[in-house]
Amino acid sequence: SDNWDPRSGDVIVSCKDNEQYCPDDATLKNMQQMEIMAEGVSGAIKLEIDSIQATNCNDAVIEMDPNPEETAKNGGSGNQGGFGNRGQFGNRNYSGYLNRHENAVGGYGGYMYPTILPNGDVRIESFDNPKHRWYPINDPVMGGSSSSTVTVQGETGIFDGEVVDVTSLDAPGFIKMETRGGNFPDVSMCKALKITLKSANDYTGIRVTLGRHHADDAQPYVR
C-alpha cells in the first residue's frame, strides 16, 4: 500500500481496499529503490536474508532485454555489477565514492532485465552475489538512537541492529537497509514479492517498501 503510517509502519488503507494505493505500473517496471525496515516496535533484530524475488509471474515474462540500446549505454546488463566492471557505471573510476560508503555492501548495477529462475520467479536480489548496493539507515537523523549494520557473510545478507524509543517522539524509532541507484527488473507481470530469510527472534516490526511513488493524499515520506 502507498498509504501507511510512517510512525508505526501500519497500513492505513490497503491496496486491496483501494486500488489507487497499489504499486503503479512504472514502479513495477523498475522499482528504483527497495527498503527492508524495522520500525514501530522496540527491540533487537537480526535477519539472515538469502534472496528477494517476484513470484506468481505469468507466462508473458521473458528473459531478454527490452531496451538493449539503453543497456549498452549504461555499461552492460548489470549482472557483473560493481565499479571497474561492466556494471551500471561501466568502466569509470569511482574509488572516492566507494571510500565514502564503506558501511554499504553489494554491487552497483542491479538486474536491468528479468532473470527467470527455474520455478518461474524473477530474481530481484540474491545475497550469494548481491547486485544492488545496500546501505544501513538509522533514526539518529530524526534524533533517535537506534543502530544497525548491513553485512554479507558467506552467501547471506545480515541485517543486524536494535530499534529504541525516540524520546522526543515518545515512540519507537526505525532502522532499515536500503538500495540506492541501480536498476530493477520489470516485475509488472508478477503478483507477489517473496523474501527468503531467517529471523533470530520474533521481532514483529518488519516492513518492506519498494519504489519511490508517493500517493497524493498519503503522509509525508511515505512511498
**pLDDT tens digits for 26-65?**
778 888 889 999 988 889 999 999 999 999 988 776 665 5
207: left (phi over 0), alpha (psi -120 to 50) or beta: beta
148: left (phi over 0), alpha (psi -120 to 50) or beta: beta
CB of 205 within 8 A of CB of 38?
yes
In 57-215, where do the E strands start and end? 105-106, 122-126, 133-138, 147-153, 156-163, 165-166, 171-172, 174-179, 192-199, 206-210
End-to-end C-alpha distance for the chain, whole angstroms:
8
User: What pTM does this model have?
Assistant: 0.75
Which of 12-26, 105-119, 126-140 has the least mean pLDDT?
12-26
> pLDDT for 155-175, tens place per residue?
999 999 999 987 776 777 889
Backbone angles phi, psi at 141, to 5 degrees: -65, -15
- What is the distance between the alpha carbons of residues 112 and 101, in angstroms, rounded to a whole number? 23
Look at the block and give the residue holding cell 517498501. 209
Strands 165-166 and 147-153: unpaired
- pLDDT, average across residues 112-123: 84
